[in-house]
Structure 1
Amino acid sequence: MPSYEIDGIVPVVGSDTFVHPTAVLIGDVIIGNGCYIGPLASLRGDFGRIVVGAGSNVQDGCVLHSFPGRDLVLDPGSHIAHGVVLHGCTVGSGAMVGMNSVVMDGARIGAGGLVGAGSFVPADLDVPAGHLVAGSPAKVIRELDEQTAAWQANGVAVYQELASRSLATLREVEPRVSVEVDRRRVSTDRGVSAPLHELRRAVVEGRTR
């Protein structure tokens, strides 16, 4: 992985953490144990400190940064989806920031909270633990129901397992020129995780039968 020192400060990566070779770590970045950092993620600790708590995931194309002297903190078990921009904010344990969202300086996403996909969370917004925030600008919508909270927790576990799988089996290779007969699938299947709307539909259909 490209990892860069600045002002004599070197990034720290904990044990059992997977950082994709195309991710970039700069300066004051501290990543805990058992994390997953995806392809093309940029963690720039050239102004302020970036802390990624144990068991968290920062998925592909995410950008993490802060103003000078300010920290960006992901508490343990944070779940940061594809294409998210985080700037000088705090994300609580077990919270999820949905795809292509932006969370601004001083915003605080409480433990187990959920930022809806495509949201813009303005500076200094305080999202209570276990609540959904969504929109542009984002507003606190409601407390999460049990099904959503369980789905979210499963997503964190799936990415912790992906970190282990990636450390064990991810290798750079040349692609094949044709599809082999009886091509296998990767080890995860539909039983591991599903979109939330599918789970909700299954519950509704089960009730109406």
Structure 2
Amino acid sequence: MPFYSFQGREPRVHPEAYVHPMAVVIGQVELGDNCYVGPGAVLRADWGIIRVGKGSNLQENSVVHVRPGEEVLLGEDCHVGHGAIIHGALVEDRVLLGMGAVLMDGVVVGMESIVGAGAVLKEGFQVPPRSIVAGVPAKVVGQVTEQLMDRKRRGTALYQSLPKLYKEQLREIPADYLKMK
């Protein structure tokens, strides 16, 4: 079971969201309608609050953590790539965080922005809406075109189909079933 209460703080998960059994959700985490949380993801709100807006996905091995008394907000229809880390940041609606991106405390990512894979957004970095951010340390390197935003929407839509499909069709296979005969 991937859900844990801590000091009276409990997760609240919309019935249409999907959290993989190998993910971990601790404390005051709120997952909206049609969210997807993949295997190995960790959402840890032991002393703060994490809110994930409807239709957002957190892929395998992503981590979200919050400092005591603070809040992390991941807006609606966000796409968090494999291994990304969000620590004390605000991510507005329809943002794509590339694989392995790191967002430090106080970062704000404006709506419909794209953060490149492996980018490191240092503490307090502000990303204007519809910006492309990349590098270590990250900097704005361009603007999101309608073509890029359309591609992002299509990718997010695939992940938005997973909660229903996984609830209906994902089944664990016993190890002995896999043995070669």
Displacement, 1:178? 4.9
In the alignment, what sits opposite 1:167?
Answer: 167
**Unmatched tracts of structure 1, length 5 or more:** 180-209
In the alignment, what sits opposite 1:8?
Answer: 8
Structure 2 SS opposite 1:117: coil
In the alignment, what sits opposite 1:128?
Answer: 128
Displacement, 1:145? 1.8
Displacement, 1:146? 2.0
2:162 is equivalent to residue 154 of structure 1? no
Q: Distance in 2 between matches of 1:130 and 1:43?
A: 26
How does the TM-score come out when normalised to structure 1? Answer: 0.83
In the alignment, what sits opposite 1:51?
Answer: 51
Structure 1 SS opposite 2:51: strand
Q: Distance in 1 between matches of 2:162 and 2:180?
A: 27
In the alignment, what sits opposite 1:28?
Answer: 28
In the alignment, what sits opposite 2:179?
Answer: 177
Q: Distance in 1 between matches of 2:89 and 2:154?
A: 24
Q: Distance in 2 between matches of 1:164 and 1:126?
A: 35
Counting aligned pairs with the same residue, the percent is: 40
Corresponding letter in the other structure for 1:176:
L
Displacement, 1:80? 0.3
**Unmatched tracts of structure 2, length 5 or more:** none
Displacement, 1:131? 0.9
Displacement, 1:125? 1.1
In the alignment, what sits opposite 1:194?
Answer: none
In the alignment, what sits opposite 2:141?
Answer: 141
In the alignment, what sits opposite 1:100?
Answer: 100
How does the TM-score come out when normalised to structure 2? Answer: 0.95
Alignment of 1:58-77 (within 5 A): 58-77=58-77
2:88 is equivalent to residue 80 of structure 1? no
Larger radius of gyration: 1
Give deviations 1:65-110, integer Å, cap 9, x for gaps.
0111111100111110100110010111110100011001111111
Deviates more, 1:141-150 or 1:112-121: 141-150
Q: Distance in 1 between matches of 2:73 and 2:6?
A: 20
- Aligned residue pairs total 179
Corresponding letter in the other structure for 1:136:
V
Q: Distance in 1 between matches of 2:54 and 2:81?
A: 16
Corresponding letter in the other structure for 1:6:
F
Structure 2 SS opposite 1:48: strand
Displacement, 1:120? 0.2
Q: Distance in 2 between matches of 1:167 and 1:63?
A: 23
